[in-house]
Amino acid sequence: MTEPQTQPATQTATRTARQGEPLLSVRDMEKHFPVTQGLFKRQVGAVKAVDGISFDVYKGETLGLVGESGCGKSTTGRLVTRLLEPTGGQVMFEGRDITHMSQGRLRPLRRDMQMIFQDPYSSLNPRHTVGAIVGAPFRIQGVQTDNGVKKAVQDLLELVGLNPEHYNRYPHEFSGGQRQRIGIARTLALKPKLIIADEPVSALDVSIQAQVVNLLEDLQNELDLTYVVIAHDLSVVRHISDRVAVMYLGKIVEIADRKSLYATPMHPYTNALLSAVPVPDPRGRAGRERIRLTGDVPSPLNPPPACRFHTRCWKAQEICKKVEPPLAELAGGHRVACHFPENAPGSPDTPAAGKDEPVTA
Amino acid sequence: MLLFVVSIATFAIFFLVPRLAGMSADDLASRYVGKAANAQVIHDTAIRLGFNDPVIVQYGRFVKGIFVGVDRNYGPGVEHCPAPCLGYSYVSQNPVLPDILNRLPITLSMALGAAVVWVIFGVATGVVSALRRGSFFDRLSMGIALAGVSLPIFFTGIVSLAIFRDQLGLVGDVADWVPFSEDPLTWANNLILPWVTLAFLYAAGYARLTRAGMLETMSEDYIRTARAKGLAERAVVLKHGLRATLTPVLTMFGLDLGLLLGGAVLTESTFSLPGIGKYAVDAISNNDLPQVMGVTLIAAAFIILANLIVDMLYAVVDPRVRLA
Amino acid sequence: MSPFLDVKDLKIHFPTDDGLVKSVDGVTFSLERGKTLGIVGESGSGKSVTSLGILGLHKGRGANISGEIWLDGEELVGASQEHVRGLRGKKMAMIFQDPLSAMHPFYTVGDQIIEAYRIHNKVSKAVAKKHAIDMLGRVGIPEPGRRVDSYPHEFSGGMRQRAMIAMALSCDPELLIADEPTTALDVTVQAQILDLMRDLQREFDSALIIITHDLGVVAELSDDILVMYGGKCIEFGSADDIFYRPEHPYTWGLLGSMPRLDREPTERLLPIKGSPPSLINVPPGCAFHPRCPYAERTGDKARTEAPALAETEGGHLVRCHMAPAERRALWENEIKPVLETP
Ligand SMILES: Nc1ncnc2c1ncn2[C@@H]1O[C@H](COP(=O)(O)OP(=O)(O)OP(=O)(O)O)[C@@H](O)[C@H]1O
Ligand SMILES: Nc1ncnc2c1ncn2[C@@H]1O[C@H](COP(=O)(O)OP(=O)(O)OP(=O)(O)O)[C@@H](O)[C@H]1O
Ligand code: SF4
Ligand code: SF4
Ligand SMILES: [Mg+2]
Ligand SMILES: [Mg+2]
């Protein structure tokens, strides 16, 4: 699947609407992890963690990536930052093909692409001071700073809402939310253009989660950052994203503007996901109708053929088991991979105005 | 597979090392015929025994002996050495394997008996220590355990011999080997000293391992679940806690037992037990290469066998291993 | 008639090398059969310690426990360890957060359910196994007759949690405590498990306590809600009280921190400033005062005097110095409008 796929003509429209070339552009990206067995490490199969996905990220926007555990979100993040090398497809950053670029040639690009990790406890070296952690990128990349590294680090700490006097403290002296701020400060050190945040708030308490979400938004406005935010919490993703991509078993099944994705979700899986989110409104619970999926996500080792969702989809027909639905643009900027989409424009289905509406019986 | 590697290694050490050390084929052959023989006799013997053959041929013969047996030309005639044939002693001219097998029960009695004692004592001490962490019992037993692992066997062995056999006359003379089938009581009485001494050495490690394992296991979520079911504390500890702790203990047990069987040298010398260890010591001091090779191979086989059994037991104990 | 479960001023303190950890420091609530109580609070607020305390699992482990726990007319704090053990699993049972680590990896799912059943029922293994298969079927495990012999690692996350539930329900407990039963699960599986718990509770007519940090989950299931902060119950009331008439500034903060799918997205979330308190050096006075935006309104009292848990109306309890009328006015005029406008 390495040959570049021609883009549907309709995509050009959305692209021009978003002024210019995408910052990050992914085409048919694949990552198959070999599964080996026995003494001689014979390959017996492959985990198709990411199996041919395409998307663009434009400057200044936030793309949310949602999906259930194991669907390949983190792998996607690690592929586009080239912490992993794709086994197929193409990754372009600022128009340069970085798919198979060597680590040496990638190094200058690493300044522009940074990753924030989920666990604020294990991603910081416990034996280094905050100053050393946040200042490390300067030293590694050999960057000159105007008033010395210390001043630069203290500015960063202030930027993420930490006390600059905490320069000489150790990570264990900080709470989870504060540690995540330290991680963010480190990420920001080299003024990256693109930040991939892998579950940046999942390990935090709600009240702290909100602090970090707000911080990420403020920084984006202030520093003109572009984000790819990976999360499984659909509410957080809606709050923070401009566009949202939904993944299922290594594929993007739906990608759209936040508004149209949440108001008129077209893929049955997206509908099911939205309908499964518990709503903090006890009065509404009685009247709400829900889509209940049965079973669990199948193994990415042996994904179901054609449409991967057909084993759990209540709309599945024969064709879904035989022909893989393409990710087609059904409305402006709204692309869906399904033979029988919900809420499709021009279809007899009445569009659901929100998830409180009965989406299906 | 592993035995193959071991056999090559054994062979390499005992056939090639003398060469590298500058011993010629004739020097080797002279060990068979004795120093008194003249050069011609020695040279003929070397040829007859194949010492001049290419290494690969010699190795082939060694392996063939193990699997199908070989014929040995001992000069006056030809003798068939049936498989598995480990060769003939230079000194006694006896085949190596039967000699080793004759001594096996002694070594097995010593090692297995000791193993039973140390596992029971070690694990029990470890469990109690873990449950009463910080108590007097815990500190005392861990202190003793520290002494146990740090004192060498010949020290504890000689001290215990001096006290229990020589001074108090409580136990029999270890060197008087009596098979279990003849007189179990005397058998046990004669062996009790090496058992206890060995157990002291090994139990210490088991107590520490079990204690550490139990401390970890008892804070696992599934222990909380067992308590939440209303299970009595004794069952929680034994059925849920100890069960999960046994896996590393089992690994250590396999390694230790294999090593003890294979490396009984020190223990048997200390107690002058006429087992395989003693045989190995004699073989080395006589420079009797076939005996040394045979004993090495058997020792390696023990270690491998013990590990195999442990791997199999592993699957019995931990169902998660069965998948792989 | 007194309530089925009545907890009064429960305190559980752990003496440690660093000092006395006041994990639970004044928790009061009651619960009837057939009703569901949700306990919410941030990490470390004492939710799990409270629930383990009700099961009596802190007894004899060096914890200082005071207060009263009345279960079906019986006081449990003062009862003997052995007596409470007899009630565990039978009269009250528990479901834990991470079903993989909460099940013993070396025993089959069936064996673990059989064990739970046979502790309290003198029956043969065969009878218990039938019961286990029956329970697995009732929690929606396909082919229970075959899966009963599987090990936990052979189950998916959702199936494991179902098996945990089957185990907890095997002796038909009257009180079921679920500690973050869905936190480790995906949303679609979480929805299945929440449905299952709702259905089973109706079927068994047991009292259910569900502990979580997700206000959405609480809202889906609970009749009553207990909000905990720093080991204390700071607000207790019906689900309607907590979601539509909350009176404690911390509860307001929780509601403002949470992005919601059922409303138009707000421009900004309204987080609570600062971070949760240390349980060893609990802030004096009102434990929430360093983070409370209304602390000045109660003057020095916030820093010097611990507020009592007081009833405002109809069983709605709040622990705050502000006058009830003032709190209600704040909520109606300042908080609610901000939370609801995009
Ligand atoms: N190094 C690896 N070797 C083999 N398989 C891997 C490797 N890394 C990930 N996988 C597999 O690839 C799949 C996708 O993993 P990934 O971590 O991307 O999922 P995710 O969407 O981030 O899930 P989560 O929400 O649990 O973080 C999983 O099935 C995982 O087991
Ligand atoms: N045995 C113990 N000894 C000392 N401190 C303890 C003990 N058990 C719990 N604690 C402390 O009590 C506090 C409350 O813990 P608890 O587990 O009840 O929190 P929680 O509300 O359940 O949080 P989470 O949402 O993270 O599960 C924590 O700070 C914890 O460290
Ligand atoms: S293609 Fe078919 S199976 Fe797949 S999501 Fe659409 S309707 Fe369901
Ligand atoms: S007592 Fe004062 S500080 Fe505490 S919650 Fe009420 S208003 Fe805030
Ligand atoms: Mg991930
Ligand atoms: Mg907890």
Domains of chain B are 2-82 (no CATH), 96-323 (1.10.3720.10)
Mutate to test the interface with C, among A172, A205, A293 (most CBs of C within 10 A): A205
From ligand 1's centre to the CA of A69, what distance in Å? 8
Q: How confident is the model at residue B175 (pLDDT cuts 50, 70, 90)?
A: low
Residue A345 included in any domain: no
| Chain A residues 287-306 within an 8 A CB cutoff of chain C | 290, 292-294, 296-297
- The verdict on a CB contact (< 8 Å) between B230 and C102 is no
- In chain C, residues with a C-beta closer than 8 Å to the C-beta of B321 are none
3-state secondary structure C143-171: CHHHHCCCCHHHCCHHHHHHHHHHHHHCC
pLDDT exceeds cutoff 50 at C342: yes
From ligand 2's centre to the CA of C46, what distance in Å? 6
How far is the alpha carbon of C123 from chain A, nearest alpha carbon, in Å? 33
The pocket around ligand 4, CB under 6 angstroms, is made up of C 249, 286, 288-289, 292, 294-295, 297-298, 302, 307, 320-322
- In chain C, residues with a C-beta closer than 8 Å to the C-beta of B319 are 105-106, 108, 151, 153
Residue type, B11: F
From ligand 2's centre to the CA of A360, what distance in Å? 42
- The verdict on a CB contact (< 8 Å) between C106 and B244 is yes
Residue of A nearest to C243 (CA): A281
- The verdict on a CB contact (< 8 Å) between C262 and A284 is yes
Tokens of B156: 């504890």
Let me know the angle formed at the C-alpha of B287 by B283 and B289, rounded to the nearest 5 degrees: 75
The domains of chain C are located at 102-172, 246-340
Of C55, C104, C105, the CB nearest to B228: C55
Poorest-pLDDT segment among A92-106, A198-212, B290-304, C252-266: B290-304
Residue of C nearest to A278 (CA): C216
Of B225, B230, B320, the CB nearest to C153: B320
Of C55, C102, C119, the CB nearest to B231: C119
Q: How confident is the model at residue B79 (pLDDT cuts 50, 70, 90)?
A: confident
Q: Residue B253 has what pLDDT?
A: 83
How far is the alpha carbon of A42 from chain C, nearest alpha carbon, in Å? 24
Share of chain B above pLDDT 70, in %: 82
Residue A152 included in any domain: no
Q: How confident is the model at residue A351 (pLDDT cuts 50, 70, 90)?
A: very low
Residue A145 included in any domain: no
Residue A275 included in any domain: yes
Report how many domains make up chain A.
1
Let me know the angle formed at the C-alpha of C59 by C58 and C65, rounded to the nearest 5 degrees: 80
Q: Which residues constitute the domain of residue A300?
A: 24-37+46-131+187-336
How far is the alpha carbon of B308 from chain C, nearest alpha carbon, in Å? 21
User: Of B108, B51, B120, which Cα lies nearest the Cα of B262?
Assistant: B108
The whole-angstrom separation of Cα A218 and Cα C55 is 46
Residue A159 included in any domain: no
From ligand 3's centre to the CA of A51, what distance in Å? 18
Q: How confident is the model at residue A173 (pLDDT cuts 50, 70, 90)?
A: confident
Residue of the CA atom closest to atom 14 of ligand 1: A72
Poorest-pLDDT segment among A1-10, A254-263, B137-146: A1-10
What's the DSSP call for residue A299?
Answer: P
Task: DSSP for A268-292, please give it.
Answer: HHHHHHHHHS--S-GGGGTT-----
Matching residue, tokens 């694949």: A30
Residue A146 included in any domain: no
| Chain B residues 172-231 within an 8 A CB cutoff of chain C | 220-222, 224-231
Residue A172 included in any domain: no
From ligand 6's centre to the CA of C181, what distance in Å? 10
The whole-angstrom separation of Cα A187 and Cα A209 is 18
Of B224, B225, B318, the CB nearest to C106: B318
On whether the CB atoms of residues A71 and A303 are closer than 8 A, the answer is no
- The verdict on a CB contact (< 8 Å) between A210 and C239 is no
**Which helix (H) or strand (E) element contains residue B204?**
helix B184-217
For residue A55, what is the domain's CATH number?
3.40.50.300
Task: Tell me which of B180 and A184 has the higher pLDDT.
Answer: A184
User: Of B117, B116, B112, B109, which Cα lies nearest the Cα of B179?
Assistant: B109
Beta carbons within 8 Å of A128's beta carbon, 6+ residues apart: A136, A170, A171
Neighbours of ion ligand 5 (CB under 5 A): A 74
Within 10 angstroms of residue A151's Cβ, the number of other Cβ atoms is: 12
Alpha helices in A176-267 (DSSP H): 176-188, 206-223, 234-240, 258-263
Matching residue, tokens 């949760």: C276
Scored b (16 or more CB within 10 A) or e, B18-47 reads beeeeeebbebbbbbbeeeeeeeebbebbe
Within 10 angstroms of residue A7's Cβ, the number of other Cβ atoms is: 13
The CA distances from residue A324 to A287, A297, A327, in Å, are 36, 18, 9
Of C86, C102, C153, the CB nearest to B225: C102
Q: pLDDT of B239-267, one tens digit each?
A: 999 988 888 888 788 778 777 776 677 77
Query: What number does the ligand 1 atom closest to the CA of A77 have?
Result: 18
Task: Tell me which of B175 and B27 has the higher pLDDT.
Answer: B27
Matching residue, tokens 């009064």: C8
| Chain A residues 84-143 within an 8 A CB cutoff of chain C | none
Q: How confident is the model at residue B34 (pLDDT cuts 50, 70, 90)?
A: low
Q: pLDDT of C197-241, one tens digit each?
A: 898 888 888 999 999 988 999 999 999 999 999 999 999 999 999
Scored b (16 or more CB within 10 A) or e, A174-199 reads bbbbbbbbbbbbbbbbbebbbbbbbb
The pocket around ligand 3, CB under 6 angstroms, is made up of A 268, 307, 309-310, 313, 315-316, 320, 325, 338-340
User: Of C291, C180, C282, C190, which Cα lies nearest the Cα of C230?
Assistant: C282
Give me the mean pLDDT over the A182-192 stretch: 87
Task: Tell me which of B316 and C103 has the higher pLDDT.
Answer: C103
Complex-level ipTM? 0.87
Query: What number does the ligand 1 atom closest to the CA of A35 have?
Result: 4
Decide: residue B207, CB within 10 A, 0-12 exposed, 13-18 middle, 19+ buried.
buried
Residue type, B156: T
| Chain B residues 291-320 within an 8 A CB cutoff of chain C | 317-320
pLDDT exceeds cutoff 80 at A42: no
From ligand 2's centre to the CA of C136, what distance in Å? 31
Share of chain C above pLDDT 70, in %: 99
pLDDT exceeds cutoff 90 at A220: yes
**Which ligand sits nearest to residue A176's alpha carbon?**
2
On whether the CB atoms of residues A294 and A312 are closer than 8 A, the answer is yes
Q: How confident is the model at residue B33 (pLDDT cuts 50, 70, 90)?
A: low
User: Of A84, A212, A290, B229, which Cα lies nearest the Cα of C268?
Assistant: A212
- Rounded to the nearest 10 degrees, the angle between the axes of helix B96-131 and helix B289-317 is 40
The whole-angstrom separation of Cα B24 and Cα C281 is 82
Task: Tell me which of B253 and A349 has the higher pLDDT.
Answer: B253
pLDDT exceeds cutoff 80 at C297: yes
Scored b (16 or more CB within 10 A) or e, A235-266 reads bbbbbbbbbbbbbbbbbbbbbbbbebbbbbbb
Ranked by mean pLDDT, the top range of A73-87, A121-135, B134-148 is: A73-87
pLDDT exceeds cutoff 80 at A309: yes
Matching residue, tokens 């809420």: A343
Decide: residue B180, CB within 10 A, 0-12 exposed, 13-18 middle, 19+ buried.
middle
Is any atom of ligand 2 closer than 6 Å to the C-beta of C43? Answer: yes
Of B227, B230, B319, the CB nearest to C106: B319
User: Of A11, A3, A68, which Cα lies nearest the Cα of A30?
Assistant: A3
User: Of C17, C102, C28, C98, which Cα lies nearest the Cα of C62?
Assistant: C17
pLDDT exceeds cutoff 80 at B72: no
pLDDT exceeds cutoff 70 at A218: yes
Chain CA centroid to CA C18, Å:
27
- In chain C, residues with a C-beta closer than 8 Å to the C-beta of A359 are none
Strands lying side by side in the sheet with A243-248: A113-116, A194-198, A226-230, A62-66, A243-248, A251-257, A334-336, A328-331
From ligand 1's centre to the CA of A84, what distance in Å? 12
| Chain B residues 240-259 within an 8 A CB cutoff of chain C | 240, 243-244
Measured over the CA atoms of residue A59, residue A62, residue A67 and residue A69, the dihedral's sign is positive
User: Of C4, C3, C13, C20, which Cα lies nearest the Cα of C67?
Assistant: C13
Q: How confident is the model at residue A9 (pLDDT cuts 50, 70, 90)?
A: very low
- The verdict on a CB contact (< 8 Å) between C215 and A238 is no
pLDDT exceeds cutoff 50 at B57: yes
Please give the model's pTM, rounded to 2 decimal places.
0.82
pLDDT exceeds cutoff 70 at A15: no
Residue C196, chain A, CB below 8 Å: the answer is no
Mutate to test the interface with C, among B225, B231, B236 (most CBs of C within 10 A): B225
Beta carbons within 8 Å of C172's beta carbon, 6+ residues apart: C204
The whole-angstrom separation of Cα B50 and Cα B36 is 21
